[in-house]
Structure 1
C-alpha cells in the first residue's frame, strides 16, 4: 500500500543517486514518490516485469531470487540498500519481503529528469568523481548517459540470425545434421568458417571435410552450435564511430584472449565442455558493448579513455547478464558474465563452473598483459580453491598454460578465422 508521509531529507540523501539532488529537488521528489509497505513473504517485484519504477529499501529486508536459483539478501541500512534494488528492466529477480519492509518508490523518468537538472557541483558519478571532472555540459551528458542505461532506454544487442537459428534447431531432438547444415549454408561466410574450423588442428580428423554437412557430422550438434555462436559474435562488437571502434576492437581482442585461455583451462583442469568455456570467455564482456554503442551519442565525454573504462567496469556485469538472459542462454553463462571480474565470487554449485574458469582466465590474461598491479593473490581467489582436485595454485596454473601455449595460440587462430 502507499503512504503519504515523506522521509526526512537527510535520510533521502543517504540513497544513491538521490544524494546528488538539491534540497528543493528532494522535496519535489518526495512529493511525487510513494511509500509502499510489504509483509513477510509478500512479493515486491516480479522477475521479467517492466514498471518504470525505482525501489529504495527504507526498512526491513528482501531476498532477490534469480532464475538460476541464486538468492541474495538485502537489509535496510546495509551498503546494498544504498542503491535501488533490482534496477535493470525487465527485472532479473523476484524480490520477496523477508520481514515487514517499506520502500520509497520513484518513477524512473521523474528521477532522470531531476538528475539531468541537478547542479554541476552535486553531479558526481559513482566511482568517477574527480576534482577536475570537466565542464557542466560534460557532467550533464554523463548523467544522461547513465540514466539511459539504468532506465533500460538503451537497446540490447540481438543474437545474430544464423546463431539463433542453429541454437534453436540444435535444441530439438529430431533435428538432423542436414537440417542444421542448411541453416549454416544459407550464410556463406559462416559456412566457410565452420569448414575451416573443422579442418583446423583442434578438430581435424584423418581426412579434411569438404562441406558443411560433413563438418556438422564430425563436430557433432553441440560443438557446431557453440562454434556458430562463437563465429557470429564478432558482428556484435561493432560501432559506427571509428574512435569507439578502436575501443571495441580492444574489447574483442581481450575477449578472444580470455576465450582461448578458457578453452585450455576447461580442457586441462575441469570436466567442463571446452567449447562452452570458449563461448563463456568470449561473452564475458558482452555487457560492455551497449556502453560503447551508447557512447556514440556522448563522444565529447568518452574521448577520455579513463572515463569510458570506468563506465564499462561499473555496468558490464549487470548489463551482460541482462543480455544473455534476453538471449535465453543457460544460467551458467549468465553467472559467468555477471561475475567475470568479481575475484572473490564463489559459486553455489559444488563442482567447478564456467564462472570459475572465466575468472581464472581473466586473471591470467591480465597478468600476461602486465595489468597485475591491483590483482589479488591467486590463492585468495575462490575459483582456484574450487579446482582443488588438480591442486591448482599460482605456479601450477601458470605451468599448465605455459605448456599449453601452442594450444592457446591454435584457439586464437580459430577465433581469427575470416
Structure 2
C-alpha cells in the first residue's frame, strides 16, 4: 500500500465523488480523514461513530471481514483498481464490526458535506416524476431506510459457489458441502439434475451425484439461476406478469453477456453472466413494493411507468446493498442508457450490447447500433440489418443451451 495516497487522490477516483468539481473535491478532502489499520485489528460501528462522528467510512485498500446482522462477509478493495467500499452503511445494525485481514487504508468522508455536494449516488432530482410517482419513491425510500421493506436478500450461497468453482484447487467435496448448507438450493439442484435436460439412466438422489453428473460449470450456472430466481416473486397477477417478464429478459441478456465475453475474450465470462441477470434487478423492489402497497389495482401501465423512471435508482440500491462492486453498480445504473460511453470495455457496455441483441432476437424496436457507443467500446463490428452480431455467428446452439439452463 502506498504511503503517499492522499484524500484528494482517493476522492478523484471514487465513483460518487469523481464527478465533482476540483474545488468541491478539495473542500471535501480538507475535512476527510485517512486511517491505516494493521492486520488483525477490529473496528466496531459504534467505535467508528465515536472516532469519526458524522463521517462515512470507506475501505480504500486492503481486505476485511464484516460481521453484519449475524453474517460474516469478506470485503476487499485495491486502490486504483476498484472503487472504495463503504463499510458501515444504513443496512446494518449497531453491533456491526470489521476485522482487518491485511493492512488496510480507510477514508472517512463527512456525510453531510458529501450529501450537500451531490456526491451520493444516483441523483433523484434529475428524475422527471409527477406527484404520485414522487410520493411512491419517497415512501419506498422510507420503507427501505426504516427496515420495513427488505431489499432482496443477497444470493450468498450462489456467489460463494461462483467463487469456489473459479478456484482450480476446489474439489467436489467442497462444492457439495457448500450447496448442502442451503437446503432449498440443494433440493432444487437435485430436482433440476433429474429434469429431461440432464437425466441419466439412474435417478440422482444426492448433491454429490448431481455435481458429478452435470459438472462444475453447469452447477455454477444452475446455482446462480436457482438462487436469484427466488427473489423474483410477487402476489398479484399484474405484478407476477411484470416480474416474469423482467426475469425472462434477464435470462436472455445474461446468455448474450456470457457468450460475448467468451467470443470477444473480454472480461470474466461468469461475472458477465451475473451482470446480465442483475441488469434489471432494480425492478424487483419496485414491483414487490407496488404489489404490497396494493397498487396492483392501478394497472400495468402505472407499474411500467414507475419501472421506466425508477429502475436505475433502485438497481443501484440493490447492488450496493449486496456489496457486489462498482462494476455491477454501473450495470444497474446504465441498464437502459443507450448513450453510455465507457473509456474501456466494462460490464455495463457488455450488458447494453446484450440488451440490443435481445431486442433484435425478438424483432423488437431498438436504436441503430451505430448510435450506441457500447459497440465501439467493445471493439465490435456493426451488426447486420437483421440484427445479427458477427461475433456470435454460429453460436445459436450455445445461446439456446444457456437459456435452457435458466429455464430448468
TM-score bracket relative to the smaller structure: 0.5 to 0.7
Residues 336, 355 of structure 1: 8 Å contact kept: yes
Distance 1:258 1:234 in 2: 15
In structure 1, the gaps of 5 or more residues are: 1-37, 50-64, 71-87, 106-123, 130-138
Per-residue deviation, residues 190-236 of structure 1 (Å, max 9, x unmatched):
23435769949xxx9xx999664366468776774454122221111
CA separation in 1, counterparts of 2:194 and 2:326? 30
Map Cα deviations across residues 381-415 of structure 1 (whole Å, 9 max, x no partner).
22111222xx5212297143564233222211111
Consecutive unaligned residues in structure 2, runs of 5 or more: 1-25, 33-53, 60-78, 93-106, 119-124
Pick closer, same or farther for the CA change 1:226–1:325 going to 2, 3 Å: farther
The question of whether the paired residues in 1 share the 8 Å contact of 2:257 and 2:273 is answered with yes
Residue 56 of structure 2 is matched in structure 1 by 46
Query: In the alignment, what sits opposite 2:407?
Result: 416
1:138-184 alpha-carbon deviations (Å, 9 max, x no partner): x56x4442112234343201034642664576688975421221332
Aligned equivalents of 1:45, 1:412: Cα separation in 2:
45
| Structure 1 position 311 matched with structure 2 position 310 | no
For 2:203 and 2:273, locate their aligned partners in 1 and report how far apart those are by CA, in whole Å.
Answer: 23
| 1:18 aligned partner | none
TM-score normalised by length of structure 1: 0.59
Distance 1:148 1:386, change over 3 A: same
Structure 2 residue corresponding to 1:376, chosen from 367, 390, 393: 367
Contact kept, 8 Å, 1:244 with 1:292, in 2: the verdict is yes
Matches of 1:238 and 1:317 in 2, distance apart?
20
Q: Does 1:398 align with 2:388?
A: yes
Q: CA deviation at 1:128?
A: 4.7
Correspondence 1:128-139 to 2 at 5 A = 128-129=129-130
Find the residue that maps to 1:308 and give its secondary structure: helix
Structure 1 residue 353 corresponds to structure 2 residue 346: yes
Question: Separation in 2 of the partners of 1:220 and 1:399?
Answer: 29
Whether contact under 8 Å (1:238, 1:248) holds in the other structure is yes
After TM superposition, list the pairs within 5 Å mapping 1:2-401 onto structure 2.
39-41=27-29, 42-43=31-32, 46=56, 68-69=82-83, 103=116, 126-129=127-130, 142-151=133-142, 152-153=144-145, 154-160=149-155, 162-163=157-158, 166=161, 176-185=171-180, 186=183, 187-193=186-192, 199=198, 212-213=207-208, 216=211, 224-300=219-295, 303-348=298-343, 350=344, 352-372=345-365, 375-388=366-379, 391-395=380-384, 398-400=388-390, 401=392
Q: d(CA) in 2 for partners of 1:273 and 1:192?
A: 29
The change in CA–CA distance for 1:197 and 1:148 in structure 2 (over 3 A counts) is farther
Cα pair distance change 1:164/1:198, threshold 3 Å: farther
Alpha-carbon RMSD: 4.4
Q: Any idea what the Cα deviations from partners look like across 1:315-336, whole Å, max 9, x if unmatched?
A: 2223223322322324332222
**How far 1:254 sits from its partner (Å)?**
1.3
* Structure 2: distance between partners of 1:180 and 1:234: 20
Q: TM-score, normalised by structure 2?
A: 0.61
Structure with higher Rg: it is 1
Change (3 A) 1:143 1:325: closer
Please tell me whether the aligned partners of residues 193 and 231 of structure 1 are also in contact (alpha carbons under 8 angstroms): no
Aligned residues: 307
The 2-side partners of 1:197 and 1:281 are apart by 26
Asked if the contact 2:58/2:108 (under 8 Å) is kept, the reply is no
TM-superposed deviation, 1:295: 0.2
**Equivalent residues of 1:128, 1:310 under 8 A apart:** no
For 1:368 and 1:315, the matched residues in 2 are separated by: 26
**Separation of aligned partners in 2, 1:164 and 1:149:** 27
- The 1:171–1:40 alpha-carbon spacing in structure 2 relative to 1, beyond 3 Å, is same
Distance 1:96 1:297, change over 3 A: same
Q: Is the 8 A contact 1:48 1:90 kept in 2?
A: no
